[in-house]
Structure 1
Amino acid sequence: MRLRPIVLLATLLAAGAALEACTNLLVTKGASKDGSTMITYAADSHTLYGELYFKRGGRHLPGEMREIREWDSGYTFDTGKSLGSIPEAPVTYTRVGNMNEHQLTIAETTFGGRKELHVPSGIVDYGSLIYIGLERARTAREAIEVMTSVAETYGYASEGESFSIADPDEVWILEMIGKGKGQKGALWVAYKLPDGTISAHANQARIRQFPQNDPKTALFSKDLIPFAREKGWFKGADKDFSFADTYAPLTFGALRACEARVWSLFRRAAPSLNIPIDYVKAEKGAKPMPLFIKPDQKLDVRDVMQLMRDHYEGTEFDMTKDVGAGPYKLPYRWRPMGFKIDGQDYVHERAISTQQTGFSFVSQARGWMPAPVGGVLWFGVDDTYTTVYVPISCGIKEPPKAFAIGTGNFDSFSWDSAFWTFNFVSNYTYTRWSDMIVDVQKVQREFEGRFLADQAEVDHTALNLYKQDPGLAKDYLTRYAGQQTEQLMARWKKLGESLIWKYLDGNVRNEKGEVTHPKAPEDWLRCIVKDHGDVIKVKKVDGLAPDEE
């Protein structure tokens, strides 16, 4: 999702400026408890309608063309604007969201990079590049080949982008940027994460030095370093070349709004490393974070879901601790993120969990099973903190109705839409966060706990059906995803109704349904007294005791 770190501070301080950003976590086989690879993606934008993209694969005749429609113009998603056409592949694969039928997953975050390289000449934007990769590749390496060759042949049409790419065996980061106005092609580097490690990126390029003579570990465009030398951006030895430092120089915004999210993922997954906060605070002399780390414990799907639920709790960035959180400890700040008071610039934190998430997922690729059974996209809409991740097989024949394209849209509310139903609950929860989030998480844990507990039985049933006929397994997995989503939708609507009943007009009903009026937290009352105490102080009148209500 688009973010421009090179001008981010100005963006943060611009009143009313739109801000889109995303977060990816990457988990290799050796870092997961069951040997699966996992990628997370939070697709964040104030104008993104969350739905599960779905396109069936097929065979295509010679001469067929694939139209390229702009997926992201920077402020509007899936604009439908035609950018051009390229020859269709003879065979394309079905894609379910950002995972295809072979368990290949591709996600992204936009880092922007050097302004001079914006608006390159080409017709393939980064969103289209992702979905072309999913349609034409079976493995992560094939996806890198497809994506880079398409960009080279037809031109790249976006700013700097970090892609997460995983199949059941390998996990890669591919970073790409165009060559500037009027220049076709792309500059790129791809790095395979060592098994047993995790990585992350969040709108800032992260690949620095990389092995240049080891194609099993790193791949890169032939003009990557010569182009930088020609522009005068790099003058050292080839071995010292850094993609991130050359093509996406750090700014305060890139550190505080982007790298800080990576730091928070790393500090939670590997607290033993004690990764200091000084780097993301832009302290002079601080060392950059590593591209990848080894987690203290191997991660399962639940762990990864929880890592994507983060407001910097327990750190000095904790968004529940300052007066901006209000009496009920709301860990969100409405946009714009930046503001100026008495000539001094300030910024609100940009956490992983954010109100403007359109959709998010945790992909799980399990190579020891047939692809339709092994590939699971744990999919949710709206805020990662309040969503419920539903297990959706990469072998489904159609998406659940509540997630499907066409069920709803960004322009009007609909109870049939998962996006709107979840937003209804989360936005009401924001009004009394510390109390209501307890009610939300109770139901969230109920459903996610059941989904996770039932997954082994679902796998067993699907595998037995697959042995009889792969089509039977796909039918079963399609029905399962639809039924679970339908049950979730009914329960989530009921949750919204119960929240309004329980917290009507500032009241709080207790376990007996009786209306009570809990006192506001004392620290918040002290803030009121400090700011307005002289006006609201109770005083004696004519020597009499004050009235009591």
Structure 2
Amino acid sequence: MKTKSVMLSVALSMVCLAASNAEACTTTIVTKGASADGSAYVTHSNDSFSSDPSIVYVPAKDHPAGAMRKVYPSAIAWDDLPEYECYSNPRLVAPERAEAYAYPGKKQTKPMGEIPQVAHTYAYIDSDYAVMNEHGLMLGECTNNSLHLEYLEPKEGRGIFYASELGRVALERCRTAREAVQLMGGLIDKYGLWGTGETLLVADREEGWVLEMQPTPTGKGGFWIAQRVPDGEFFVAANQFRIRAIKPGSPDQIFNPQLPDMLKKAGWAAYDKKGNLDWVRSMKAAEDFHPYFALRRVWRALSLVAPSSKLPAKVKNWDTEAYPFSVRPDHPLTLAEIMDLHRDAYEGTPFDRRKGENAGPFALPYRYGKTKWERSITSSNIAYTWIAQVKDSLPQPIFWLAMSAPAESTYVPLAVAPLPEAYAKNDRTKYDPAKAWWISQQVTTLTKGYYSAMVPKVLETARKGEQRSMELVTSASGQSKEEFAQTLRGNADRVLTDWRELYGKLLAEHDGGHGLEYDKAFQPKADKVLKY
């Protein structure tokens, strides 16, 4: 049982997080030994109704001696910051960083501070969070709750870094995951954190690391720790810290040596049953909104890839030790299986989101309104999902991008290179039929209205297109980097054309609801809110 004081803290946290832009994300690492084709993967769903869906190529650059790098704020951390000219859409106005961040007529975003620039920065793909760079360094992200400190607002004298800018600096300067973890940890120690608790997944061809961070109450420095995902295993995070015992001297962990003393000094130190300093408990990393907002997704993802683990769907508390840090899949995971994991709504389980009166006559897995429903991996508020992939046989690193929720969309492969114009400067507040966000959103929105009747055809079209794209990636593996990038740009344009046509076909075939039948199979009982 929770004490009254803890219950009050949970209630206050719910009220605070309701204002946050970073509403929820699910992110995974598939190490190369866990994949069917020897690729390493990092996935991330960017889940926010106010997210900027623009995908930006930031080119490699040389910088003069003595140059400084601006560190910008981010509205995705919590909310708009007018004092910094920082808003959700567009996320950044900074033409010096990339052409796609130039918005004539808009005021430039004001930096929170500066750090010394390096002589050369690498090319990378950027979004609300950094995606991957030209050397195959990949990132994923999710925002985490802490009852100690839900959100530290940016102020003079506090830290200048939020996770989004940390990831960008890492992609600009690093080739390996270990190097990136060490760099970001050093930046936290020196320049400090603001914002929310965060997880950044950091991986390259050989290693995958989980970096978790939390601002200090003063904004000086920050609490952070990283743990390696063993090769051959799969990791998932879903808005809750996942690292448990802090192990000084372990080759599989990296953290500030002062971390244990910092936690004790702050009065946050908490321990597991074996007497180890426990990161999750020290952070008071309780779930957001209501039970199973985070843990159910962790259970589902781990159970999908390793059903033999027979993990319990119900646990007693947010700090349960029932779910392992990572698992070895029952079989090597294919790219198609990784894609479908992000489409999951607990189908075939007692928690199937398509069932119950709240699913409506068309078995919609999503919920709307002020009530904070239990979350599934797929969500109504997903702006985009990426699957970053590194494989030695490919001419260069690629990422598979699904605009909007992938359960009603399709994944398109793109290289770390200039992108089709359809992906830059997507404004979700103004309809533009030439932009990838709106091309995808048309199908997604229509499908959500008549879900069970339309989603089978949408997914059939999506998977056929994804299979063609996979075959194209394989057949183009002998091309040069430039040829390969151009091949993928051409393919992306064709997929967007196909998706425009699909929208038209769905409208024509079901004009006014013609031919649509609601799904009686999914109307047995109303949803019930599960409690610990």
Would you call these one fold, judging by a TM-score over 0.5? yes
Kindly indicate whether the alpha-carbon contact (under 8 Å) linking 1:67 and 1:84 is maintained by their aligned counterparts in 2.
yes
Equivalent of 1:188, from 224, 232, 254? 224
Instruction: Look up the SS of the partner of 2:214 in the other structure.
Output: strand
Return the letter of the residue paired with 2:368. W
Aligned to 1:497: 504
Q: Structure 1 residues 59, 18: closer, same or farther in 2, change over 3 A?
A: closer
Q: CA deviation at 1:81?
A: 4.3
Q: CA deviation at 1:135?
A: 0.4
Between stretches 169-178 and 90-99, larger displacement belongs to 90-99
Return the letter of the residue paired with 1:416. A
For the pair 1:377 / 2:395, whether they are aligned, the reply is no
Q: Structure 1 residues 16, 131: closer, same or farther in 2, change over 3 A?
A: closer
Equivalent of 1:86, from 99, 115, 122? 115
Return the letter of the residue paired with 2:419. P
TM-score, with normalisation over the residues of structure 2?
0.85
Return the letter of the residue paired with 1:74. W
For the pair 1:64 / 2:67, whether they are aligned, the reply is yes
Cα distance in 1, alignment partners of residues 174 and 32 from structure 2: 20
For the pair 1:174 / 2:214, whether they are aligned, the reply is no
Return the letter of the residue paired with 1:417. K
Please say which structure displays the higher CA radius of gyration: 1
- Paired residues for 1:112-511 under 5 Å: 112-116=145-149, 118-119=151-152, 121-181=158-218, 183-214=219-250, 216-234=251-269, 240-251=276-287, 253=289, 255-279=291-315, 282=316, 287-338=321-372, 348-366=373-391, 368-369=392-393, 373-394=395-416, 396=417, 398-404=418-424, 406=425, 408-460=426-478, 462=479, 473-508=480-515
Q: CA deviation at 1:18?
A: 5.5
Cα distance in 1, alignment partners of residues 430 and 337 from structure 2: 35
Q: CA deviation at 1:445?
A: 1.4
- For structure 1, list consecutive stretches of 5 or more residues without a partner in the other structure: 339-347, 463-472, 509-516, 529-549
TM-score, with normalisation over the residues of structure 1?
0.82
Aligned to 1:542: none
Return the letter of the residue paired with 1:222. P
Instruction: Look up the SS of the partner of 1:413 in the other structure.
Output: coil
Q: CA deviation at 1:53?
A: 2.2
Cα distance in 1, alignment partners of residues 498 and 20 from structure 2: 33
Kindly indicate whether the alpha-carbon contact (under 8 Å) linking 1:67 and 1:86 is maintained by their aligned counterparts in 2.
yes
Kindly indicate whether the alpha-carbon contact (under 8 Å) linking 2:46 and 2:383 is maintained by their aligned counterparts in 1.
yes
Which one has the bigger helix percentage? 1
Aligned to 1:109: 142
Cα distance in 1, alignment partners of residues 495 and 230 from structure 2: 38
Return the letter of the residue paired with 1:164. L
Q: Structure 1 residues 324, 127: closer, same or farther in 2, change over 3 A?
A: same
Q: Structure 1 residues 393, 16: closer, same or farther in 2, change over 3 A?
A: closer
Instruction: Look up the SS of the partner of 1:392 in the other structure.
Output: strand
Q: Structure 1 residues 329, 122: closer, same or farther in 2, change over 3 A?
A: same
Q: Structure 1 residues 311, 25: closer, same or farther in 2, change over 3 A?
A: same
Cα distance in 1, alignment partners of residues 134 and 472 from structure 2: 22
Cα distance in 2, alignment partners of residues 501 and 459 from structure 1: 39
Q: CA deviation at 1:315?
A: 1.8
Cα distance in 1, alignment partners of residues 525 and 42 from structure 2: 42
Return the letter of the residue paired with 2:259. L
Q: Structure 1 residues 503, 174: closer, same or farther in 2, change over 3 A?
A: same
Instruction: Look up the SS of the partner of 1:379 in the other structure.
Output: strand
Aligned to 1:36: 39
Cα distance in 2, alignment partners of residues 38 and 365 from structure 1: 7
Q: CA deviation at 1:6?
A: 10
Cα RMSD, aligned residues only: 2.6
Q: CA deviation at 1:410?
A: 2.2
Cα distance in 2, alignment partners of residues 258 and 524 from structure 1: 25
Q: Structure 1 residues 524, 437: closer, same or farther in 2, change over 3 A?
A: closer
Cα distance in 2, alignment partners of residues 41 and 483 from structure 1: 24
Q: CA deviation at 1:122?
A: 0.9
Q: Structure 1 residues 116, 349: closer, same or farther in 2, change over 3 A?
A: closer
Show CA shifts across 1:79-99 (max 9, x none). 534212211111110002411
Kindly indicate whether the alpha-carbon contact (under 8 Å) linking 1:109 and 1:163 is maintained by their aligned counterparts in 2.
yes
Kindly indicate whether the alpha-carbon contact (under 8 Å) linking 2:356 and 2:525 is maintained by their aligned counterparts in 1.
no
Return the letter of the residue paired with 1:326. G
Cα distance in 2, alignment partners of residues 525 and 241 from structure 1: 47
Cα distance in 1, alignment partners of residues 8 and 43 from structure 2: 25
Aligned to 1:514: none
Return the letter of the residue paired with 1:432. Y
Aligned to 1:75: 79
Q: CA deviation at 1:105?
A: 0.6
Show CA shifts across 1:362-397 (max 9, x none). 11112x347xx2411111211021221111123x2x
Cα distance in 2, alignment partners of residues 161 and 14 from structure 1: 16
Return the letter of the residue paired with 1:273. S
Equivalent of 1:25, from 3, 28, 33? 28
